[in-house]
Structure 1
Amino acid sequence: MAVADALGLEEYHLVGYSMGAVVSLLTAAQDPRVSRLVIGGMGCAVVECGGVDTRVLDAERLVEALLTEGDLDGYPATARAFREFADFLGSDRPSLAAQARAVHAGPTPLDLVTVPTLLLAGSEDELATRPHVLVDALPDARLRVIDGDHLGAVVAPEFAASIVELLDG
């Protein structure tokens, strides 16, 4: 919200993926300037766990993998893949680690997310299982399932096309 404040925005669309989707949901629940929302890489865990699916991804091991400068041997495959993807994107790993620690501090107030919302979920994404549970918990949401796993769905052509379709609509 501080970025929107600094830019003087009266209204804005918000897009977030994975941990960014949790941040986007929390922002949309608090900031009435969010007019449309696209979230991806999430499913029932937002409703059942409050955010990223810790049943699949051990948050503490993810934090360790994000903060280590050493070898990733011995870390779970999901944490290694997340770290490698963060490095590929040039992400701020300490910030991601802080978000991973904080994301499960409490329930996500889904009833306060009243803007039109699109949930994009990969058909093989183990972090976005049963996405209809999340869609059903949001007052104005729809679901689009895209071929791919957690990292593969993002590069599918229909992923970007779906975002543009909602935001242009």
Structure 2
Amino acid sequence: MSIEPDYFEARDGVRLAWREMGEGAPLVLLHGLFSSAEVNWIKFGTAARIAEAGYRVIMPDLRVHGSSDAPHGAEHYPPDVLVDDLQDLVAHLDLADFDLGGFSLGARTSVRAVVAGMRPRRLILGGMGLAGLAGWQRRGRFFKRAIAEYDSAKRGDDTWLSIQFMKTMKVDRIAAGLLLDSFTDTPPEALAALTMPVLVVCGDKDQDNGSAEELVAALPDARLRTIPGTHMSSVTEPELGEAIAAFLTA
């Protein structure tokens, strides 16, 4: 299934896209790094499963991803720019009461938004562990290296699969490098801001962002749902949509 995007203008004039599916209570879902709303949420049926449960699923393409623009000026990448974009989307759609979630980078961005003052009813953090929030520098160096090795990496190199995914998604490497520099860490003590119910959903072979169990233990009101898969494959599993729908309708 393919859904045509709608567009809005962020506060710095950059054109950003979002897609919607379903009717009912709004849920904003943010995709992972180098992915898109279509690949992360629509292609494998996750959004459809949640929409069937009675939700209006709102799925932006993050800046530099999917159908959204990928500007090259450094002025378009202040710290936490993706939080700014999320705030602008919420304002554009006039959302006053909504749930929020994301996978990997989308989960990091969701946490940063709550730390900055956003107050969704419930929060969904996919493919995320405690180290992925507090220790971005290690992951950041890996993705910077993937960009640098884009044309030279060989099969078997640790960056190979990420680079192939970047090529499939036609990622703009200049813009991606600028975006990586905008990401900021969330120290464990800042997680006290996440007072709403939180679902941490993670693949049983996914340690890319550290321990999901440690993240649950660090949150005031969180539960863990383990689903099949690695960091790359868990988003393709039907259990992802089922876990989110079950959490929202409990």
Normalised TM-score (structure 1): 0.78
Distance 1:92 1:127 in 2: 23
Q: 1:41 deviation in Å?
A: 1.2
- Where do residues 9-24 of structure 1 align in structure 2 (5 Å cutoff)? 9-24=95-110
Distance 1:113 1:149 in 2: 26
Q: 1:77 deviation in Å?
A: 4.3
Change (3 A) 1:53 1:151: farther
Distance 2:220 2:155 in 1: 38
Q: 1:100 deviation in Å?
A: 3.0
Q: 1:167 deviation in Å?
A: 2.5
1:5 matched residue in structure 2: 91
Indicate which of 46, 60, 64 corresponds to 2:141.
60
- Where do residues 142-161 of structure 1 align in structure 2 (5 Å cutoff)? 142-161=223-242
Provide, for residues 103-150 of structure 1, a one-character-per-residue CA deviation record: whole Å limited to 9, x for no partner. 345526211011111111111113144311101111111101112111
1:107 matched residue in structure 2: 187
Decide whether the 8 Å contact of 1:118 with 1:144 is kept in 2: yes
1:37 matched residue in structure 2: 123
The amino acid that maps onto 1:14 is L
Provide the secondary structure at the position in 1 that maps to 2:99. strand
The amino acid that maps onto 1:33 is R
Distance 1:148 1:53 in 2: 25
Distance 2:230 2:137 in 1: 14
Distance 2:178 2:114 in 1: 20
Provide the secondary structure at the position in 2 that maps to 1:35. coil
Worse-superposed segment, 73-82 or 28-37: 73-82
Q: CA RMSD in A?
A: 2.9
* Unaligned stretches of 5+ residues in structure 2: 1-86
Structure with bigger helix share is 1
Distance 2:137 2:224 in 1: 18
Q: 1:88 deviation in Å?
A: 3.6
Identity percentage over the alignment? 29
Q: Which has the larger radius of gyration?
A: 2
Aligned residue pairs total 163
Distance 1:78 1:13 in 2: 35
Decide whether the 8 Å contact of 2:101 with 2:124 is kept in 1: yes
The amino acid that maps onto 1:73 is A
Distance 1:24 1:119 in 2: 12
- Where do residues 89-168 of structure 1 align in structure 2 (5 Å cutoff)? 89=169, 96-105=176-185, 107=187, 109-168=190-249
Distance 2:156 2:144 in 1: 12
Decide whether the 8 Å contact of 2:154 with 2:160 is kept in 1: no
Change (3 A) 1:105 1:158: closer
